[in-house]
Chain A
Amino acid sequence: MAPSFSSAAACIAPPLPTLLVVPTGIGCAIGGYAGDALPSARLLAAASGCLITHPNVMNGAALYWSDPRIQYVEGYSLDRFAAGELALRAVRQQRIGLLLDVGIEPELRQRQLQVAQGCRATLGLDIGPVVTSDVPLEVHLCRGNSGASWGELGQPDALLQAGERLRDAGATAIAVVARFPEDSENDALSAYRQGSGVDALAGAEAVISHLLVHHLGLPCAHAPALLPLPFDPLLDPRAAGEELGYSFLACVLVGLSRAPDLVPLTSEAALPAGADLLSAGQLGAVVAPEGALGGEAVLACLERGVALIAVANQSVLEVTSEQLGITSRVQRARSYTEAAGLLLALREGIAAAALQRPLPAL
């Protein structure tokens, strides 16, 4: 019998569920712009067979990519998942309720609705109903001492009440569009558009989605409503996805369309027998920037002894494996390409030391 190439598929090890964290709002060189960590996520998904990551990694405003190996899990729920408080259940399709800030001007509001209409007609997404907040949400941007971006809402109750209306109307996931403050002359914005500095919107965006997920237990994600910026001939490629149109919403709708359901766990022992759920106990690895290891998801993985791959990915933070005292427990990668190789070695049961030289004797 002649060799068959089809036998190659049988030699691939089962998926190694892997968490990919690229914190938003800290100016990561890879992932601090418009979904520019997406190519890395695609590679890690191919290496692992199952990648769990958050909207900051996947959202490229007008640009997006759907991969059945990638689970789109909002940041607050990602933290809860890593802590063993939530499991994930795969779905064929979510029904996405659209929550619009009443503070969005009429034409800009229509632009958001047109994006939703396009996603229904062209991508076949299940979107609706549409709910408008009772009062403007009043987003405020701020910056921490570290340089990381944060934010606040003046009217959080209005956000939560609108979310409740969507949930009660049958939405199984929620896309939020909030009016963000404009400051096109801002030096920080110019720096961001030209490839340096921190995304000033990111912190507030995270707070909005975190609030909704905490309150409703549904997959949620956020897109800011902003007026188009003036043309910038020096626009960095990493920021380009946010300046292709009038809305950041398309990527959010695509991501949420197959975001897994969030299943609360009182304890990991409470996982229903036979349930097709993904829990933190199944994680095989976590991949995070070497200088940003102080977030809750990474710390939760350290509690579990999940293999940590720390990637060189500069940001405004310097919370390193050395400062945490975990250098002996961390595999360091100089790039996401190298991280993918380390991940594949984990998946295939190959000791990473055997792939490097010198190889110390026992």
Chain B
Amino acid sequence: MQLELSWPVDLPVNKLRPWLRDQLAIHGHPLRWAITAIEPVGDHRRQLKIEAVLLNVQE
């Protein structure tokens, strides 16, 4: 699946991985995933594009 997430402004990069896993876990168990793009969206905000393969994807 492919999804876009807004990187919380107060989330440091060294907390990014567990946060992303929690976001992916909403949809299923992440088997393989990566941030494939980061786009600035103004006001120091960044939009993350994630591509992932999940187990037991919940529609």
Contact = CB atoms under 8 A, between A and B. Distances in A.
A146 B36 contact: yes
B37 A146 contact: yes
**B: interface residue count bin:** 20 to 34
B34 interface: yes
B17 interface: yes
B37 A317 contact: yes
Nearest to B12: A325
Contact of A319 (B15, B32, B37, B55): B37
Contacts, number: 74
Contact of B37 (A23, A152, A302, A318): A318
B39 to A, nearest CB: 9
Interface in A27-66: none
Nearest to A207: B53
A296 B36 contact: no
Given A146-B51, A150-B51, A294 B32 contact: no
A300 B20 CA distance: 11
A302 B49 CA distance: 19
Interface residues of A, number: 31
Chain B facing A: main interface SS: strand
A207 B32 contact: yes
A334 interface: no
A226 B20 CA distance: 36
A214 B18 CA distance: 18
A303 B14 contact: yes
Nearest to B34: A295
A144 B32 CA distance: 13
Nearest to A300: B17
Nearest to A305: B14
Contacts of B33: 296
B2 interface: yes
A324 interface: yes
A183 B17 CA distance: 37
B25 interface: no
| Most A-side CB within 10 Å, residue of B32, B38, B51, B55 | B32
B31 interface: yes
A294 B35 contact: yes
A324 B14 CA distance: 10
Contact of A144 (B16, B46, B51): B51
Contacts of A319: 34-38
A303 B17 contact: yes
Contacts of A23: 34
Contacts of B2: 144-145
Contacts of B20: 299
Interface of B: 2, 13-18, 20, 29, 31-38, 46, 49, 51, 53, 55
Given A299-B20, A302-B16, 5 more contacts: A146-B49, A152-B53, A207-B53, A296-B17, A296-B33
